[in-house]
Amino acid sequence: MIFNLPNLLTISRIVITPIFLAIILAEELPHRYLVACVIFSIASITDAFDGHLARKNNQVTNFGKFLDPIADKVLTTAALLAFMSMGLCNIWIVMIILFREFTIASVRMIAASNGVVIPANIWGKIKTVSQMVFTILIMILGETYYVAEKSFADLFVELPDLAFISNTLLWITAIFTVISGIVYLINSRKIIDFTK
């Protein structure tokens, strides 16, 4: 059955993404960082539960296997693009991460055509978790800065540059992205004949 609970959770992550994007980019919206953070966190939680429920209830489907990583990438890429638009993410970080995703997606398609499934490596999981955690942290910091500016501006509190903190965290994710991509490609060469 395609529309079981795990798959519905995966689909919900895709549906939530444009709502998250619209809110985080709405400059006139008070506490937009906080609202967007809550929405992103809820979407991230569905990522933790859909696969677990599918395995626990014997509801693993090809549809779910196909859509789950796409839902992850749609959500995390939306956050990166939003941050880039807001000056909180260097364009090279986005380029590195998207290049890795397109490359690995292509390798997966080649593997599938050969009837081979290449399992995700630990670095890929670290990359995804770090990207989600850092995204949430950046939004929490954004909300903190917003409150400080609105409530304590007269105290002249000097806060660290949010863009610098954000870019530092996201560069760490970019490093994990490169490592996971290299490991994946090395593993794929062992089991896929690219000459066919």
pLDDT band at 90 (very low <50, low <70, confident <90, very high): very high
HSE (side-chain half, CA atoms, 13 Å) at 14: 10
- Per-domain residue ranges for the chain? 5-191
Which one, of 13, 112, 106, 159, lies nearest residue 21 by Cα? 13
pLDDT at 115: 74
pTM of the model: 0.86
Closest CA to 141 of 86, 78, 72, 71: 86
CA distances from 178 to 61, 101, 158, 175, 189 (A): 29, 10, 35, 5, 17
pLDDT one-digit tens code per residue, 144-182: 988 887 776 555 556 788 999 999 999 999 999 999 999
Least confident of 75-84, 102-111, 159-168: 102-111
Q: What is the pLDDT of residues 92-101, one digit of tens each?
A: 999 999 999 8
CATH architecture of 5-191: Up-down Bundle (1.20)
